[in-house]
Amino acid sequence: MKSQRAALGIDLARYIPLWQNKQYKQKVVVLGAGSFGTAMAYAAAQGGNDVIIYMRDANQCATINKEHRNPKYLSEFSLYVEDRSGSEIRGICTLKELKEELSTPGVVILHALPCQLTPPWFKEHADLIPHDTLICCTAKGLYLETNQLMGHAILDSLDRADQPLAFLSGPSFAEEIMKGYPTTLVAASNDLFQAVRVKKILSNFKTIRVFTSDDPVGVQVSGICVMLIVLSYLISIHE
């Protein structure tokens, strides 16, 4: 069995508890406590996962931990998940805390920083990201400095070619996720089992359903096209 895992180039045994043990709580670290980061954290918590959300603002972090709401974004919504006992969203605001949380084997990163800030952030903090940690990127668009898709820009910023990546696309809206409106998403990765991991984190079989794909480039390009269509519509109605 060990030789088979070695031949695949990945240790699948690290992820077996995600499917076999119903009591297993997947640790999810959300980078960014804006509107969409908050919605992603809430969606992940609804699935019974151990969710941590990272931000730089200490006051914002304290409010999330004490009052279970984000005082800056979507503040009218509670982040307390009533139907999942023992599941809550914890805020952290220091790089020391972030490094500690990311040291957990099998942790998944849900990256929810703005598109143009994404590559610089990963370049500056590459030493915090374990080489085998799955990064699921929710940012849509091209990195304008190099005209790259997010996947290529992230790998260049980390200076790694083998970092596990997945990409999440909608259309989806943070406020509608928080309100419990029906939402469909697609998670894409070159390694399909990584997309399945994202699906298991976010799908709650009530309001959110995640489909999987092994075409991350197509999903990224489609996300850009959707943004262009929405932008064109908004411009047209204000002319």
Query: Domain boundaries in the chain?
Result: 23-237
Which residues are within 8 A (CB) of 108 and not within 5 positions of it... i.e. 6 or more apart? 26, 27, 28, 29, 133, 134, 136, 197, 198, 201
- How many angstroms separate the Cα of 138 from the Cα of each of 35, 189, 225? 12, 13, 15
What pTM, to 2 d.p., does this model score? 0.85
- The pLDDT confidence band at residue 171, using thresholds 50, 70 and 90, is confident
Number of Cβ within 10 Å of residue 149's Cβ equals 20
* Residue range 59-83: mean pLDDT, rounded: 93
> What percent of the chain stands above pLDDT 70?
87
| CATH number of this structure's domain 23-237, picked from the four choices 3.10.20.30, 3.10.180.10, 3.40.50.720, 3.30.465.10 | 3.40.50.720
SS3 149: strand
CA dihedral over 117, 39, 195, 85, signed as positive or negative: positive
User: Quick check: 113 and 139 in contact, CB under 8 A?
Assistant: yes
pLDDT reported for residue 107: 97
> How far is 150 from 45, CA to CA, in rounded Å?
26
Q: Is the pLDDT of residue 20 over 70?
A: no
pLDDT reported for residue 83: 62
Phi, psi dihedrals of residue 7, rounded to the nearest 5°:
-65, -35
